[in-house]
Amino acid sequence: MAKSEVCKNCCPDGGAIFELDFGCWPHVSTKEWMAEPAWVKVCNNCGHYKPKRKSKPKLTFDEILNLTDETRLKNKRDRAIFHAFAEAGAWKKYKATCEEYAQNCKDNGIEKFPVVAHHWINTYHRDKLAEHQKESAWAVNYHVSRLKADAEKVKAMLAQDFPTREAQ
C-alpha cells in the first residue's frame, strides 16, 4: 500500500496517493506545466506533480572539521569524521585531556599511569571512526560514546590525582 500524502492541488488535508511517472504534468500548486518530461511523483487523484524536496548538500570534510558542536551532523559519516578529526570532536577532547594528565604526571615525577590516559596507544575507537565506511551507524555511535567515556575517565583522574593543579 502506498502511503497517502498531502496534495496541495486536491487534498490539502492528506489522502492523496502519489506515484512515480514519466512525462509532463502541471505543478501541484503553481499549475504550471513542466517544460521537459521527467520522472516525478504524480498525484493519482488530480494528475498534478509534486516537486522533489531539495536535499541539503552534504557537509564537506573541511566543513565538518570546522564545526564547533554536533548540531549539524546528519549521519554516521558526519559523526565519525567530526569525532575522529575535528578540534571540537570527542578524539581531540580526549587527547587534550590525556596530554594534560601526562604533563601533570611529568611535573610530579610520576612515570607510570593508567593506559586509558595514554591516548597515543589508546587509538582503537578513533581508528574505527576514521574507517567509518566499514562501520555501521550503531558501531559509529558506540565508538563515539566510548571515546567520550574515556575522556570523562581521564578528566576524573585529573581531578582526583592532581586536585591542586592550576585551572587551565
**Axis crossing angle, helix 137-161 with helix 76-85, rounded to the nearest 10:** 30
- Taking the complex as a whole, how short is the minimal distance between the CB of residue 25 and Zn ion, in angstroms? 10
Residue 35 grid cell = 517544460
| 10 belongs to the binding site for Zn ion (CB under 5 A) | yes
Nearer to Zn ion, 33 or 124 (CB): 33
| 6 belongs to the binding site for Zn ion (CB under 5 A) | no
Nearer to Zn ion, 46 or 139 (CB): 46
Q: Considering only CA atoms, which of 39, 36, 35, 10 is closest in space to residue 22?
A: 39
Nearer to Zn ion, 41 or 126 (CB): 41
| 17 belongs to the binding site for Zn ion (CB under 5 A) | no
| 44 belongs to the binding site for Zn ion (CB under 5 A) | no
- Taking the complex as a whole, how short is the minimal distance between the CB of residue 51 and Zn ion, in angstroms? 13
Which span (13-21, 93-101, 131-139, 156-164) binds Zn ion, by CB under 5 A? Answer: 13-21
- Which residue has 565538518 as its cell numbers? 64
- Which residue has 562501520 as its cell numbers? 135
- Taking the complex as a whole, how short is the minimal distance between the CB of residue 38 and Zn ion, in angstroms? 18
| 46 belongs to the binding site for Zn ion (CB under 5 A) | yes
Residues in the site for Zn ion, rule: CB under 5 A? 7, 9-10, 16, 43, 45-46
